Structure 1
């Protein structure tokens, strides 16, 4: 894993200061977390600090390393853990149907390609990081949105989504285990070892942003971090899950290094793609209205001179304000759509 530390969603970066301000209000007025440290209420993150963290963990800064290899391992080992205030994340709230199928596939991919041969607890920890991000206002509000953030941009957040890894045939046993772990996480299983961690990286790289975050755990080759202060505490994870408007097949890039990437349906060992759903045909000059006449009804708009037109019926009622509701004649209003 090189860039597999998943940063912030660029669409939300432009309002990071507002997010931070909202979090300050939510955290300072909310009920103290049962696992919170006594002085946690004073560990607030100022909007300017939040913006600095956003900038330090996105784009080119995401892959800006102080060292790699053995030197990085020494730097990482020297950085102390900050296990104070290690909150347990709330269980994920599942949704059914297409949302669940898409979320399951994206989370399975993240577990397999990020940590498919790490210890089981390490695989669960990666799943927990993804779900923690879904809950934090600084990230996307969907599982696939978190996993595939930046996949079609120069610097993706989980590098497997844009470096060609998805073209590799997954090992059957490890893939099945990743599916099982993803299912458990989506059904509410929480991995307590990493708490509310939202970032991680391999121990053979030392990113410049790491000292800005709170180092909470090391599992296998991965080191896990949470945001500093209350921005990384459980009360800050207030974002609701918005479902999965797009699945993995729609979010993954088409090309990598000039080469067309294999689509999931073209790789016999890859999981079958979750369908994106039917498209509603629009006229070329449609400016936003969706008129689907395939359901068996047609639009019926009476002419203005029609005596039974709804507008005339309403006008008659308005012309007699002195009448009580009981005295008013019943209006005959034609049905607009049937």
Structure 2
């Protein structure tokens, strides 16, 4: 009899503990803050569904259609043909000191290279202006010199820089003006150096060749990456 009582008491104890555990689990679930949030979200979604039902299909289409993106003008615009027709369509060019420096560089350094060849040399000058390695103005780039000579030979050859060919000067001016006004620089692929095939300077072996236009070969500094 005492054994039965002990077994019965143990059974009641187990049941009591199970009930206690269940009660604790119930309380824990009902106090979960995410449960209340879930109920709130359900209510909000229901309200939103009812509100959307009042919006016409045309208005809904207008709301979900993204606005058209506007294309920005920049240096990556349509390539220029740099032919006689393009040159003839350009207005007479004029400008201040920086324009004069660029036009003179094209005239004295590259007028025998035609329209494309002059534009290519102009690209080099403007690419240098934007490079931290060179002066920050066109005149500074054109007139830069060092202990070994000038960057552009006509600036220190001892000759007077006089314009003897008005038609060629007009051509150089139009090309210079177009480049300064934002013509895309797509001829030399970022070149900052050039030389003629008659010479092979030592520095050319350290640079990346980008183009050959007329009697000029163009180069840019090698692109450095994190792995270099």
TM range (shorter): 0.5 to 0.7
| Aligned residue in 2 for 1:238 | none
| Aligned residue in 2 for 1:105 | 100
| Aligned residue in 1 for 2:199 | 205
Contact 2:191–2:219 (Cα < 8 Å) also in 1: yes
With normalisation by structure 1, the TM-score equals 0.38
Counterparts of 1:132 and 1:165, CA distance in 2:
27
Render the CA deviation track for 1:284-321: whole Å, top value 9, x for unaligned: xxxxxxxxxxxxxxxxxxxxxxxxxxxxxxxxxxxxxx
Contact 2:75–2:185 (Cα < 8 Å) also in 1: no
Counterparts of 2:208 and 2:127, CA distance in 1:
15
Distance change (3 Å), C-alpha of 1:196 and 1:139: same
Counterparts of 2:160 and 2:75, CA distance in 1:
30
Contact 1:160–1:166 (Cα < 8 Å) also in 2: no
Distance change (3 Å), C-alpha of 1:123 and 1:165: farther
With normalisation by structure 2, the TM-score equals 0.55
Contact 1:199–1:226 (Cα < 8 Å) also in 2: yes
* 1:165, distance to aligned residue in structure 2 (A): 4.3
Counterparts of 1:219 and 1:118, CA distance in 2:
8
Render the CA deviation track for 1:154-210: whole Å, top value 9, x for unaligned: 511111100034434431111110011000001001231202100000111111111
Contact 2:207–2:219 (Cα < 8 Å) also in 1: yes
| Aligned residue in 1 for 2:210 | 216
**Unmatched 5+ residue regions in structure 1?**
1-88, 92-99, 232-338
Q: Could you tell me which of 138, 142, 146 is aligned with 1:143?
A: 138
| Aligned residue in 1 for 2:124 | 129
Trace 1:138-217 onto structure 2 (pairs within 5 A).
Answer: 138-150=133-145, 155-217=149-211
Render the CA deviation track for 1:12-34: whole Å, top value 9, x for unaligned: xxxxxxxxxxxxxxxxxxxxxxx
Counterparts of 1:103 and 1:169, CA distance in 2:
17
Q: Could you tell me which of 102, 110, 114 is aligned with 1:115?
A: 110
Larger Rg: 2
Q: What is the DSSP-based 3-state SS (H/G/I as helix, E as strand, rest coil) of the residue aligned with 2:209?
A: strand
Greater helix share, structure number = 2
Contact 1:113–1:165 (Cα < 8 Å) also in 2: no
| Aligned residue in 2 for 1:227 | 221
Q: What is the DSSP-based 3-state SS (H/G/I as helix, E as strand, rest coil) of the residue aligned with 1:200?
A: strand
Counterparts of 2:141 and 2:160, CA distance in 1:
17
Contact 1:127–1:185 (Cα < 8 Å) also in 2: yes
Two-structure CA RMSD over aligned residues (Å) = 2.0
Counterparts of 2:182 and 2:195, CA distance in 1:
25
